[in-house]
């Protein structure tokens, strides 16, 4: 079938503003948007710039706005979309070129919540045991692939780029709820700050956008309640 | 281009708009009440403006804004404090809209009747 694409293009060296260009390619209805984009790049215009790596929904490289919603281009089938398929870069980041955005600030926020095990005690001889119930408490938030679909779907983030954002809170939640970790208080201090969890207005765009089906707002809510009811 | 959010984004946009609407009314209301300091004549003259049909519609709009903002405020509180609230936020939005419609029908009728 014929697939019509309307892709936002921007080359900082030649363009003053981003603009849309239309392309038409042959693809199967069961192909993914990524396949169509790679056809455009391979056959029609080699200068089209986009990120992709594994192409199977695991690496989180090809997050972009497709028909107005953040999706991974490698996970959405053409038959499930209205044509022309409008493809834009994620909202709220500086565009480097075409569909590639500068994610440095995003990873800076990721690092700011200390996304690693913090333990003040010496490592035990064997493993640090954990019950299935304790593991269950942060199971959902271990699924994050840092694609930034949630953060760039969030109106609070668009209006305040300093907001730590849903992705970083999900990562913090993963360690705050981990019974083996002792850095919970440090992370709660970071998230209880001005640019932390209280910027969340429970808009749920992050939940709709997450390609890993993480209940992001629930995780943010758990952190909010922990902050609210923690002993001072 | 506008981000195509779903129920959550719409509920938030409506919450913001109704919040701003109620705030603007409060400012106008404070100003008209303060006018009593300039004597009853000025006050009555300005208050008479509210008899205008446009203001009548505005009053219905004000009630609608307060009603939606309060109902959705309860929804947001439930989402925040009930651990399973995030799972049912869409259903709760439809409950809010249903209660809003049920509330608006008799109130609009009573307010616009005269």
Same-domain status, A137 and A96: no
Do A206 and A176 touch, CB atoms closer than 8 A? no
Q: Do B9 and A224 touch (CB under 8 A)?
A: no
- Could you tell me if residue B62 is inside a domain? yes
Query: Do strands A2-9 and A85-88 pair parallel, antiparallel, or not at all (unpaired)?
Result: parallel
Q: How far apart are CA A173 and CA A142, in angstroms?
A: 9
What's B69's domain CATH number? 1.20.1300.10
ipTM of the complex: 0.89
| Chain B residue with minimum CA distance to A90 | B3
pLDDT for A231 beyond 80: no
pLDDT of residue A41: 98
Q: Which pLDDT score is estimated for A168?
A: 98
Indicate if A120 and A76 belong to the same structural domain: no
A85 in helix, strand or coil? strand
Domain that holds residue B77: 7-112
pLDDT, position A201: 96
User: For chain A, how many helices (H) and strands (E)?
Assistant: 8, 7
In a domain, B1, yes or no: no
- The per-residue pLDDT for B51 is 85
Q: What is the mean pLDDT of chain A?
A: 96
What pLDDT, on a 0 to 100 scale, did the predictor assign at position A23?
A: 98
Asked whether residue B2 is domain-assigned, the answer is no
Residue B77 and residue B67: Cα distance in Å, rounded?
Answer: 16
For strands A95-97 and A100-101, give the pairing: antiparallel
A98 contacts A11 by C-beta, under 8 angstroms: yes
- Counted residue by residue, chain B has a size of 114
Give the mean model confidence (pLDDT) for residues A119-137. Answer: 94
- Shortest CA distance to A52 belongs to which of A66, A27, A33, A68? A33
Q: Token match 């056959």: residue?
A: A43
Domain that holds residue A93: 2-101
Whether the per-residue pLDDT at A203 is higher than 80: the answer is yes
Cα separations (Å) of B110 from A119, B23, B25, B107?
A: 66, 24, 21, 5
Asked if residue B18 belongs to a domain, the reply is yes
Residues A22, A132 within the same domain: no
Do A111 and A202 fall within a single domain?
yes
Q: Are B7 and B54 in contact (CB under 8 A)?
A: no
- pLDDT for B80 equals 96
Q: What is the least distance, in Å, from the CA of A175 to any CA of chain B? A: 19
Q: Do B83 and A208 touch (CB under 8 A)?
A: no
Closest chain B C-alpha to A65 CA, distance in angstroms: 8
> Quick one: pLDDT at residue B56?
87
Q: How many domains, chain B?
A: 1
Question: Is B8 in Cβ contact with A205 (below 8 Å)?
Answer: yes
pLDDT interval class at A232 (50, 70, 90): low
What residues in chain A have their Cβ under 8 A from chain B's Cβ atoms? 65, 67-69, 86, 88, 91, 153, 155, 201-205, 207-208, 215, 217-218, 221-222, 224-225
CB-nearest to A205 from B1, B5, B85 is B5
For residue B53, is it within any domain? yes
Q: Does one domain contain both A56 and A119? A: no
CATH of the domain at A46: 3.10.20.30
Decide which of A72, A101, A130 is a domain's last residue. Answer: A101
Verify that A87 and A170 share a domain, yes or no: no
Q: Are residues A12 and A127 in the same domain?
A: no
- Cα separation, B86 vs A97, in Å, equals 36
User: A223 and A155, same structural domain?
Assistant: yes
């Amino acid at each position: 079938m014929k697939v019509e694409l309307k892709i936002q293009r921007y080359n900082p060296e030649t363009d003053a503003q981003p603009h849309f260009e239309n392309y038409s390619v042959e693809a199967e209805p069961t192909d993914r948007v990524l396949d169509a984009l790679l056809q455009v790049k391979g056959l029609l215009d080699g200068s089209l710039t986009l990120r992709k790596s594994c192409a199977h929904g695991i690496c989180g490289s090809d997050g972009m706005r497709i028909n107005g919603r953040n999706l991974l281009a490698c996970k959405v089938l053409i038959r499930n979309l209205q044509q022309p398929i409008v493809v834009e870069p994620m909202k709220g980041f500086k565009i480097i070129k075409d569909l590639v955005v500068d994610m440095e600030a995003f990873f800076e926020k990721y690092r700011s919540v200390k996304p690693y095990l913090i333990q003040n005690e010496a490592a035990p001889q064997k493993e640090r045991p954990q019950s299935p119930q304790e593991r269950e408490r942060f199971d959902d938030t271990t699924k994050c692939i840092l694609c930034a679909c949630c953060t760039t779907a969030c109106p609070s983030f668009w209006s305040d780029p300093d907001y730590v954002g849903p992705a970083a809170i999900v990562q913090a939640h993963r360690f705050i709820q981990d019974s083996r970790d002792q850095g919970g208080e440090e992370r709660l201090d970071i998230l209880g700050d001005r640019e932390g969890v209280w910027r969340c207005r429970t808009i749920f765009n992050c939940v709709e956008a997450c390609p890993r089906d993480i209940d992001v707002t629930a995780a943010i809510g758990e952190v909010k309640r922990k902050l609210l009811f923690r002993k001072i | 281009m506008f981000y195509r959010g779903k129920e959550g984004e719409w509920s938030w946009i409506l919450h913001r708009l109704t919040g701003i609407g109620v705030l603007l009314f409060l400012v106008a209301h404070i100003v008209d009440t303060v006018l009593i300091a300039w004597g009853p004549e000025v006050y009555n003259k300005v208050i008479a403006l509210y008899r205008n049909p446009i203001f009548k519609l505005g009053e219905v709009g004000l009630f609608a804004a307060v009603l939606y903002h309060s109902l959705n405020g309860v929804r947001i509180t439930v989402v925040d404090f009930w651990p399973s609230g995030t799972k049912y936020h869409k259903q709760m939005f439809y409950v809010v809209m249903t209660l809003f419609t049920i509330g608006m029908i008799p109130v609009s009728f009573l307010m616009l009747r005269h």
